[in-house]
Structure formats: C-alpha cells, structure tokens
Chains A and B, each alone.
Chain A
Amino acid sequence: MTKPIIEVKDLAKNFGKNQVLKDITEQVTPGQVIVVIGPSGSGKSTFLRCLNLLETPTSGEVDFAGENLTTLDTKRVNELREQMGMVFQSFNLFPNMTVLENIKLAPMKVKHMDDATATKRAHELLKQVNLDDHADAFPASLSGGQAQRVAIARSLAMDPKVMLFDEPTSALDPEMVGEVLSVMQQLAEQGMTMVVVTHEMGFAKSVADRVWFMADGYIQENSTPDDFFSNPQTERAQDFLSKILM
C-alpha cells in the first residue's frame, strides 16, 4: 500500500463545551478522492479546517506527508498549507483584485514567482476552468459558478498536492452546479488528491473513491460509494440516506 499523504490520528475538537469532533482516525492516500457527507452541523467543515490547521485541534494529530502539523512552527505550517488548496462555500475571492490578480497573488508573494511566469501560469489555469476571457474582470461581476471556478484556479496556482473542498456548490444557483462539478471531476481524473465535503450525491457516486459518513463527532462509515449507497451499515447512515434520497 502507498504511504498516506494525510493521516488523522485520534483527532478531537471542542468549541468550549461543544465536542464537535470526538475521535477521528483516518487516512488519505495520494490520488484518492474522498467525499465527506453527513448531516448539517455534524462537524464536516470543522474536520476539513483541522486538516490545514485553520482550526487548531484540541487533541490528536494531523500528519501531512509524514509531518505532524500540530507540532510544527507557524512558518512550516504556512509552507505545508501551500500544498493543501482549499475551496470555500462562499468563494472568498479578493474583491479588490481582478481575476488574474487573485490567482497571481500567492505565487508572487509566497513563492516569489516573477510577474511574467505567474501571469502565464494564471492564464493556463483560467483556460483549464474555461474562464480565460474573464481574466481582467473583478469578482463582483462574476456569476457564482464563475467565481467558484476562479477560486479553484487560485488554489491550483500554488501547485497543491491535495485539494480540500467545503461544500463548493452549496451557494450556487442549481444551473451553475454542473460547471463547477465538471471542473472538479476533471481535476480528479488528472489524479489530484481531493477531500470534498458535499451534498451532491451524484458526484459522490461517480467520482469518489471512498465515502466517509460523519455524524455525532465520529466518522461512522468509511466505504466505497457503491457499498455506502446500496448497503449502508449504520442506522445513522440509513436514516440520513433515506432523508436525502427521497
């Protein structure tokens, strides 16, 4: 078996008295696409944000490429975050910069890439997400689907080893969901390691290698999409599926 790129060991996270994550131990191997599903408020976002330390775990370990993030200094954490792109439900594009500038900012300021190289790379990425004609637009003029594709391109500009998606299509009008999912599917086909929190069951079925079902602070099930959707093991999952598939 190949070495895991992300290893989570006994991860727990409390917000005050609220135990959101209780005890999670899982692994992601390179090239895998993991889809995390579960009821609202079950801690999916919190889990994802613990992976790149946007949230500091209360206890336990998050290893990335063999390094335990929770023990590293800020500088090293910053370096490892470059290798984990993150896409947010609300896009979080920088409104005061053009699409091109949004994509170029981190490569230039963090990797100290020169302007010409960064521009060239940004245009390539924009072509990949079918938005090269919007390079000079400001985020406010984009539709939700376009904005989210720019956000994906912006993350890819740092050449990450893993991409984390937190409900990337939940804020979109239904007719725009497809364009974002197809970009994500392409990315999966190119071999990108992905952890995706989503309610898009079609995407989970067709693209995921594993489905993690999260509820009550635990990963209740870790199985292939086929097994999960046709034969859920826990009552919690059966209940969840019956609600959303109806």
Chain B
Amino acid sequence: MKKRLVLFFALLLALVTGFTALTTTANAATDNSLTKIEKKGTLVMGTSPDYPPYEFQATVHGKTKIVGMDVAVGQKIAKDMGVKLVVKSMSFDSLLVALQTGKVDMVISGMNPTPARRKNVDFTHTYYQGGYSIVINKSDKGIYKNKDSFVGKTIGAQTGSTMYNESKKQTSGTTVKGMTSVSDLILALQSHKIQGVAMEKPSAQAYVANNKELAAIPSDFNLSASDTSASVAFAKGSTALVNKANKSVDQIKKQNLVNKTYLPAAGKYLKTNTVNTSMFHYWKAFLTGVEYTLIITVCSVFFGFILGVLLSLARMDRGGVFKTALRWLATAYVEFIRGTPMMVQVMFVYFGLGLIVNLPALTSGIIAISLNSGAYVAEYIRGGINSVDNGQTEAARSLGMSSGATLRYVVLPQALKNIWPSLGNEFITLIKDSSIVSIIGVSELIFQSNIVRSDTYRGVAPIAVIMVLYFILTFTASRILNYFERRMQHD
C-alpha cells in the first residue's frame, strides 16, 4: 500500500514539474534555451527525409543515413554551438508538434517561415532562397507551361507544405491533391493520376536529373520572400538559441555555402543512391524494417496480453467499493480504447505523454499499441474465462487451491485454449497494424519502404517487396500459431 502511495506521488510530482517546466519555457526562461543545449551536449534536429536534395536517406558504406543540404546546415549550427548534431526523422506534418513538445530541439526541413508558422515557433534568418517548379511527365512538355496550364487537371503537393497551400490559393479550376511524401506524388504523376507536382526548385532539379521520364517547368507562383525561403525553426521563446543559430545562418549566406558546398555534396549522395536501384541492394533497409515490425509486434503482444489479463480480471471481480471502482475503470478504459483510432492513440502517447516524460518513438509506439491491444485482448480473455465451466473452479477450490492458483493453473490454460484463434488473429492484425507507428518515425517496414522509395525514385517496387515481406511474416506466424493450437487439442 505504502509503495503504491509513493508511486502515486512520484507520478503526481512528475506531472506538476512537467507542466511548470512547460509554462516556464513558454514564458520567462528565454535565456536558458542555449545553456540547456550546451549542457546536454547534443542538438536534436527534426527533419522529414524524403525531400532531396534538402534531406534524404543515402546508403553510405552500407549504412543508411540522413544527408542533404539541410543536414549540412544543421551540422554547421551544431558545430558553432560546440555540440553534437543528432538527426531524427519523422513525417513533415509531425515536425512542428515534435518541436513544441520537446521531441526535437530544432526543425530544418526545407521549411518556409510563413506567418502562420511564426505564431507557434521561432525562425532564424533564411539560409536559402529557393523558388517553385512544377515537375511534369516529359511527354507532356508541350502541354503545360506554368501553374495556369492545369485547368481541369490535378496538381499534387506535399500535405502541410507551403506549395500545397499556394497551389490551392493561386490556381482556379485546378484540383490540388495532397500526399504525405514526395515519392508518392511522383508515383502518382508517372501513373497519370495527377499531371504535375509542385515542389521547390532544387528538389525538382534532383528528381529530373535522376529520372529521364520527368521534366520541370517554372511555376510562376506569385510568392512573398517568406514563402520561398527556408529557415530553421526553434521552440517559441528560445531567443538565445535563435540568436546563436542566426550567426551560423548569416555566415552560410555570406559565404554562399549552400550553393557552393552543400548542394553539390548532396548531389553526390543522390548519384551514389541512384547507381543501384535494385531492391536487393536495399536488403539492409528492409531487414531493419522487418526487425522493427517484429520488435513492436512481439513486445506489444506481450505487454498487451498482460494488460488484457489484468483488465479482464478487474472487469470480472465483484466485491467492495474498491473492486467496483476498479471494474468501472477497466470497463471505461476498454470502451474508450476500442472507440478511438489507434493512429490517434499513437500520436497521443508520443506527443501528449511526451509533455511529461520524453519517450523515444519506438517506446511510445510499443506503449500505444500495447495499450490498444490490451483492451481487445481483455475482451477475448473475459469471454474465454466465462467459457470455462464453473465446475472447474469448484473442483480446484475444493482441493484447497487459492483463487489465484485456480485461475493460473486451471481456468486460464483452458480459457487460453478456447480463445487461441482470436488471440492469434490479434497477433496477425498487430503485425499489420504496427505500420501505424511509421507516422512517428519508427523505422518499421512501411517507414523503411518509404525511404527506399524516395532513395531510388522507384514507386512500386518497394511496396511490392514489403507486401511480400508482410505476407511472409503473417503466414509464418499463423503456421506457428496453428502448430500450438494443434498441440493444445486433447478433447
């Protein structure tokens, strides 16, 4: 009892300090932002690495790593602060949330310092002034001249990006289709689902240089400087940090480092990337994906099962006020989890819980999926326990076994046998559903396939590969489950 109380207070304390820390960083403590980074010794940069040449994944000496001109900018900033740069990848949509919740210290991802974004984060001076192009199929080169040629057609742009918003605003009679990743957009372009993709000039050049089927045309968007420039974003109120970073950014601009050094270097990576675009060349990336998918699934099944057992017991326990409250809570939990999408739960654990404790993406993913799976497993187990004849319990109790021992040695083994097929289904479902954690940047199969796609500029092949891989995983799993099911058949 005492222990539980201590734990409770520790949690409460963590909550309170978490929130105070939050409010203080937002208001007063402007000047410890830099000191904090210096003390920590690392500067964590968030980026969405599917936007060459700004940022993308490249295989260097057999290892995948995130490269590009933005990474070079980040390195320069970190070096000038005297700390180490850590690059964290996630989807573009998640970047600013990650910044606000302290998952990352800064965001460099070809991000335009628009007024809307300025409300939520602080930007440095711009380190690069770009412009927009529209990538089209080379065969259409005569048809489209600029943004106004797409009347009755569809233009694609990365969801949440400036291009997306401007394309919507500045075209009429044109449908604008948003997708999360540029590689998906290119694929849509090549399969003629859309007729053009709006993206920044350097990216457009990179795609055109690497894919003979594509061509770039000027966009002729009417844009303010803030819409075409890229800046580094920091959390709101971290003035000291921004000032320090501005010194590096100013140097970059003065010495024209982006055009002279960073872009050519990025271009080289692009070349090594596209030399060998066979899927076999990327087996390591896929292997990592399989590994993480399995880690997430197995851990989540394990913890989900334990949680499920506890929840189902809480739901079935009758008795005093305490047990009634517990039963009510467990029921509410199960209903709530089953009534909300897993994707929202994953984001809530990563970003929401992240306000209190800083959890890595993989841990957050496992926690979220375990919490989710526990609710479903609880219902299976409750059904399973109810399906065991009450005479079994009575026989065990009459032999002097405690209620715990009865449950563990007599009821649960039989319940488990009865619900094994449902549990098996849950396991198979989890293998597939674990893909949801790709949105918070865990390198499971879907995430890895997206990286391979933007690496190789090949849209379909990586999808086919992971489809086969998923099938091998689920098929093997179901064989193993069947084997155990057969072994449990005695009657």
Contacts and interface: CB of A to CB of B under 8 A. Distances in A.
Interface of A: 52, 54, 74-75, 78-79, 81-86, 88, 90, 92-96, 105-106, 109-110, 138-140, 151, 154-155, 158, 164
A138 B490 CA distance: 7
Given A93-B395, A96-B414, 4 more contacts: A54-B398, A81-B400, A94-B410, A140-B491
Which 4 residue pairs of A and B lie closest in terms of their CB atoms, listed nearest first?
Answer: A82-B400, A140-B491, A92-B395, A86-B398
Contacts of B405: 109-110
Contacts of B389: 92
Q: Which of B389, B400, B409, B491 has the most CB of A within 10 A?
A: B400
A157 to B, nearest CB: 8
Nearest to A80: B400
Contact of B395 (A79, A94, A140): A94
Contacts, number: 77
Contacts of A164: 398
B395 A88 contact: yes
A106 B395 CA distance: 10
B321 interface: no
Contact of B392 (A75, A82, A94, A155): A94
A213 B392 CA distance: 29
A118 B344 CA distance: 53
B401 A110 contact: yes
B391 A90 contact: yes
Interface in B396-451: 396-403, 405, 409-410, 413-414, 417
Nearest to A83: B400
Nearest to B389: A92
Interface in B288-319: none
A54 B399 contact: no
Interface of chain B: mostly helix, strand, loop or mixed: helix
Contacts of B403: 74
A138 B491 CA distance: 8
B257 to A, nearest CB: 71
15 contacts: A52-B398, A74-B403, A78-B397, A81-B397, A81-B399, A86-B395, A88-B391, A90-B391, A92-B391, A94-B414, A95-B414, A96-B488, A105-B409, A110-B402, A151-B395
A81 B406 CA distance: 14
Given A78-B401, A110-B405, A155-B399, A95 B394 contact: no
Chain B's interface size range is 20 to 34
A110 to B, nearest CB: 5
Given A96-B414, A140-B491, A110 B394 contact: no
Interface string B365-404: 0000000000000000000000001011011111111110
A78 B400 CA distance: 5
A74 B397 CA distance: 11
A129 B474 CA distance: 49
A74 B399 contact: no
A57 B413 CA distance: 31
Given A78-B402, A109-B405, A95 B395 contact: no
B350 to A, nearest CB: 41
A110 B399 contact: yes
Given A92-B391, A96-B414, A106 B491 contact: no
B263 to A, nearest CB: 68
A79 B400 contact: yes
Contacts of B392: 92, 94
Nearest to B417: A96
A112 to B, nearest CB: 11
A96 B490 CA distance: 6
B399 A82 contact: yes
A105 B408 CA distance: 12
A158 B400 contact: yes
Nearest to B416: A96
Contacts of A82: 399-400
Given A92-B391, A96-B417, A140 B490 contact: yes
B111 to A, nearest CB: 60
Contacts of B396: 94, 106
A92 to B, nearest CB: 4
Nearest to B408: A109
A106 B417 contact: no
A84 to B, nearest CB: 7
Contacts of B401: 78, 106, 109-110
A155 B396 CA distance: 10
Contacts of A139: 491
Q: Which of B389, B413, B490 has the most CB of A within 10 A?
A: B490
A88 B394 CA distance: 9
Contacts of A90: 391
Contacts of B394: 54, 86, 88, 92
A138 B488 CA distance: 12
B399 A154 contact: yes
B413 A85 contact: no
Contacts of B490: 95-96, 138, 140
A199 B387 CA distance: 31
A105 B414 CA distance: 15
A168 to B, nearest CB: 13
Contacts of A52: 398
B400 A96 contact: no
Contact of A158 (B399, B402, B409, B413): B399
B392 to A, nearest CB: 6
Contacts of B491: 95-96, 138-140
Interface in B462-491: 488, 490-491
B409 A109 contact: yes
Nearest to A155: B399
Contacts of B409: 105, 109
Nearest to B399: A106
